[in-house]
């Protein structure tokens, strides 16, 4: 990440708003890019076999191994998604536990005591500890067209790349259903039983929740939803064009507040930064707030201007997960919660 200037947001600001601007050059791809895949990991077969493993990721990189990897290291949110499909990892990097030792929101149902934490915040990964796990593959997401590996430190990416090949699932400029499907395929390649009742029930629940949100948005098209995030100095209003959750919710008919294109230019199109004095710039009936530990949560916002917002005064504020755990089980509540908020919302903005 380059040093912030007076005209650009800080890295904290970018992370707070769910962006991935300026996170450095793409990590050199491991494996070949012949575009051919087969065996256990081509994303089209059944459960993993005991023979060779191959998977083509969203960078177009095909990783090939002699067998299905067992020593997996993953970004915490990715590990949480794989866990929901029955695939366990050895190590994680990224926000995993809170200051009191409880699982971070991005850890989902992971048993955080049974994984090796290589770095407990974004952009931290202890190379020596990573090497000690004898990793066979590193799995994370990517938030840009370059395929930059999310939360892999720029200063040590080359050393990390030499220890094991990497797989990246893109969460950039597409609807949520696409990375959900890709994580499904990846889990299947790693041995997940996608016919298990728990898994099929989760998929059915997701589809039902999507229909509910579509119906709620159609019934109340006048309800305006603002996606926000809070830091000590700034309030961020996210646009819908690049984030997987917001793009999908918008496709289902949700009426979102959109920052001006000019205002978003300084952040690569992700969001607009507002001073707390100007937090009322965009009228909104429902506010969905970034739930990550790196941001200030609504109950802890002390700014008087925030407390005077009509949606806040009406109690029409809910959580949002800008980095959703990419399993159907974890994404279903995101749909249901927004649907419920719109169903019960009063026009106040």
Share of the chain above pLDDT 90, in %: 82
Chain mean pLDDT for the chain: 88
Does pLDDT of 7 surpass 50?
no
Residue 84 backbone dihedrals phi, psi, to 5 degrees: -65, -20
User: What's the pLDDT score for residue 25?
Assistant: 27
Euclidean distance between CA atoms 96 and 112, whole angstroms:
7
pLDDT of amino acid 262: 86
> Burial of 36 by CB count in 10 Å (0-12 exposed, 13-18 middle, 19+ buried)?
exposed
Which residue did the predictor score with more confidence, 207 or 11? 207
Q: What is the pLDDT of residue 316?
A: 98
- Quick one: pLDDT band at residue 284, thresholds 50, 70, 90? very high
Q: For residues 260 and 243, what is the distance between their CA atoms, to the nearest angstrom?
A: 16
- Per-residue confidence (pLDDT) for residue 28, from 0 to 100: 29
Query: What pTM was estimated for this model as a whole?
Result: 0.86
pLDDT tens for 63-122 read 999 999 999 999 999 999 999 999 999 999 999 999 999 999 999 999 999 999 999 999
Q: pLDDT tens-digit profile of 251-263?
A: 999 999 999 888 8
Q: With contact defined as beta carbons under 8 Å apart, do 142 and 58 qualify?
A: yes
For residue 324, the tally of other CB atoms under 10 A from its CB is: 22
pLDDT band at 50 (very low <50, low <70, confident <90, very high): low
Binning pLDDT at 50, 70 and 90, where does residue 349 land?
A: confident
Segment 137-173, tens digit of pLDDT: 999 999 999 999 999 999 999 999 999 999 999 999 9
Torsions phi, psi for 105 (to 5 deg): -60, -30
DSSP state of 32: B
Secondary structure of residue 339 in the 3-state scheme: helix
Model confidence band, residue 58 (pLDDT cutoffs 50, 70, 90): very high
Give me the sign of the Cα torsion angle 137, 70, 129, 111: positive
Predicted confidence band of residue 265 (pLDDT cuts 50, 70, 90): confident
As a 3-state breakdown, the chain gives helix, strand, coil percent values, each rounded to 5, of 35, 20, 45
List CB contacts of 307: < 8 A, sequence separation 6 or more: 301, 313
β-pairing, 62-65 with 91-93?
Answer: unpaired
Average pLDDT over residues 295-318: 97
Give residue 9's pLDDT: 37
């Amino acid at each position: 990440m380059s040093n912030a200037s007076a005209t650009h947001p800080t890295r904290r600001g970018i992370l707070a708003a769910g962006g991935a601007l300026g996170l450095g050059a793409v990590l050199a791809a491991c494996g070949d890019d012949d575009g051919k895949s087969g065996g256990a990991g081509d994303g089209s077969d059944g459960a993993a076999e005991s023979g060779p493993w191959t998977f083509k990721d969203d960078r177009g990189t095909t990783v090939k191994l002699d067998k299905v990897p067992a020593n997996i290291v993953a970004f915490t949110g990715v590990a949480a998604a794989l866990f929901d499909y029955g695939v366990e990892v050895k190590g994680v990097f990224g926000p995993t536990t809170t200051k009191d030792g409880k699982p971070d929101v991005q850890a989902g149902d992971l048993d955080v005591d049974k994984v090796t934490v290589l770095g407990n915040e974004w952009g931290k990964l202890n190379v020596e500890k990573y090497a000690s796990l004898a990793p066979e593959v590193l799995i994370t997401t990517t938030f840009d067209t370059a395929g930059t590996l999310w939360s892999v430190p720029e200063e040590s990416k080359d050393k990390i790349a030499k220890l094991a090949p990497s797989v990246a699932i893109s969460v950039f400029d597409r609807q949520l259903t696409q990375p959900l499907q890709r994580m499904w395929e990846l889990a299947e390649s790693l041995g997940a039983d996608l016919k298990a009742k728990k898994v099929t029930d989760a998929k059915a629940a997701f589809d039902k929740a999507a229909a509910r949100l579509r119906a709620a948005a159609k019934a109340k098209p006048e309800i305006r939803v603002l996606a926000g995030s809070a830091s000590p100095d700034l309030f961020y209003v996210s646009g819908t064009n690049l984030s997987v959750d917001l793009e999908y919710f918008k496709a289902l008919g949700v009426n979102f507040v959109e920052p001006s294109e000019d205002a978003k230019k300084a952040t690569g199109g992700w969001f607009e930064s507002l001073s707390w004095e100007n937090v009322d710039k965009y009228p909104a009936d429902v506010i969905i707030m970034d739930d990550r530990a790196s941001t200030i949560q609504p109950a802890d916002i002390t700014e008087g201007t925030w407390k005077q917002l009509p949606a806040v005064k009406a109690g029409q504020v809910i959580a949002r997960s800008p980095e959703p755990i990419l399993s159907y089980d974890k994404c279903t509540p995101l749909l249901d919660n927004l649907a419920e908020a719109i169903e019960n919302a009063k026009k106040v903005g």
